[in-house]
Amino acid sequence: MTIGIRREDKNKWEKRVPLVPDHLKGLKEKSGINSIIQPSDIRCFRPAEFQEAGTEVKEDLSMADVVFAIKEIPKEIFMKNKTYVFFSHTLKGQKYNMPMLKKLMELKCNLIDYEKIVDEKGKRLVFFGHYAGYAGMIESLYLFGQKLKQQGIETPLLKIRRPFEYASLEEAKKGIKLVGEEINETGFSHKLAPIVFGFAGYGNVSQGAQAVFDLLPNKVITPEILPTLHNSLTLDNRNFYKVVFHEEHLFKRKEGVFNLQEYYHHPENYESKFESFIPFLSVLINCIFWTEKYPRIITKKYLKDATLRENQKLSYIGDISCDINGAVEITHKITTPDNPVFTYNSVTQTFTEGMEPEGISVMAIDNLPCLLPAESSTAFSSLLSPYVSGICKADFTKSYEELDIPSEIKSALILHRGEFTKPFEYMREYIKN
């Protein structure tokens, strides 16, 4: 049994790897699985580390039975009848990846998508979520500090660096904690108080973001009391405020009472009610799962109307979910670590590259874990490696019904010998269109 690991080359920031040297060594020793990895000049682990673990470093992966990657693989590279495991970004019918999906079908390949490796309750088992949250929050604290500086207000947040400028996540946490101690001692400008961070969502991504935010002094409030916070006679300038929004805070039934399960199965019966909270937020960290069938939480129409409101204070959005024109409608494009923000002017309804003092600045980096590449790779590899042997041992020449493979992996098998498996037959329409 031999697995291959493809070089990540989607952009210069993609330094991650799906399986790290220590885990590859364990797979060889415990299960007899050999491994080949393509060389890379930017990967967070050196070639020698893989060689020391018993992994062969070479360009040719043709001897591999299964090929692992993180990001999409160029369609010209696929080999006939192989099994590929990566984030395909095809599940929502993403048009830019349909040619890749077609090529996999033509070559009779098997496609396993990490996103759909789930347990019996549908909970994801192999993910980068916490690290997207960690990196997205560090980046957002840095950028929010820069935004305030542009507006003429300096805060201790200016001492926070960008995620990739720290030697490790641990070093980043220590640095942010020191900033928190300074805020606790000296505070920030009273005219900023209260500074409210809203977190849309409460899953893995949000948990990671909140873990970083909680290194700063903060008080937790519920969405219901958020509007009354600003009426306080003693506004706290030594604490931030944190409010976490669940589905029932974000959406309401057009008629009747909110029901979570109905919302997921019939979102057409629901609309956003988040707009009533937006005027009281300084920062929004968006971490929700969204597809086109769900309502948006922030629309361009609302923001244009909101410019007439004197108490509108939202100036920064960390859109960690990164859905183009999605839950946050003004996320009109993906940003990159070397150009992390754009600014939306809700009066003129225009976009400007970079940070501007006026308007809402949006960070929408779609591969945030690559800003913490070694740690995020190691965490991901620890989740993935227990399934590698089961994938390698599977006889994909058998029918889907006869296929002996871990149930968690079977749930993620989009293509079997080039054909959609039953759970993913809906994707035929994406190919046709």
Same domain, yes or no: 23 and 137: no
What secondary structure letter does DSSP report for 142? H
Same domain, yes or no: 103 and 227: no
Cα–Cα dist 319/27, whole Å: 37
Same domain, yes or no: 261 and 330: yes
* CB-based contacts of 20, cutoff 8 Å, min separation 6: 45, 377, 378, 381
pLDDT at 358: 92
Same domain, yes or no: 280 and 254: yes
Cα–Cα dist 119/43, whole Å: 31
pLDDT at 10: 87
Same domain, yes or no: 235 and 357: yes
Same domain, yes or no: 77 and 44: yes
Same domain, yes or no: 207 and 227: yes
Same domain, yes or no: 40 and 93: yes
With beta carbons less than 8 A apart as the criterion, state whether 355 and 143 touch.
Answer: yes
What's this model's pTM, rounded to 2 decimal places? 0.90
Same domain, yes or no: 341 and 383: no
pLDDT at 307: 66
User: Strand 66-68 to strand 83-85: parallel, antiparallel, or no bridges (unpaired)?
Assistant: parallel
Name the residue range of residue 326's domain. 129-371
Residue 82, domain CATH: 3.40.50.720
* CB-based contacts of 146, cutoff 8 Å, min separation 6: 158, 355
Please tell me the total number of residues recorded for the chain in this structure: 433
95-152 per-position pLDDT tens digit: 999 999 999 999 999 999 999 999 998 899 999 989 999 999 999 999 999 999 999 9
The candidate with the shortest Cα–Cα distance to 137, out of 216, 251, 255, is: 216
Which stretches in the chain have pLDDT values below 50?
none
Residue ending a domain, among 352, 371, 390, is 371
Residue appearing with tokens 């999605």: 326
Torsion of CA 57, 60, 65, 70, to 10 degrees: 70
Residue ending a domain, among 324, 341, 371, is 371
Residue ending a domain, among 321, 339, 371, is 371
Same domain, yes or no: 116 and 182: no
Same domain, yes or no: 298 and 172: yes
Question: What sign does the CA torsion over 11, 13, 19, 24 have?
Answer: positive
pLDDT at 432: 84
Residue type, 201: G
Q: Which two tokens stand for residue 207?
A: 């948990």
Q: Which two tokens stand for residue 156?
A: 């201790």
With beta carbons less than 8 A apart as the criterion, state whether 86 and 69 touch.
Answer: yes
pLDDT at 11: 87
Quote the number of domains for the chain.
Answer: 2
Same domain, yes or no: 280 and 341: yes
Q: Which two tokens stand for residue 15?
A: 């330094």
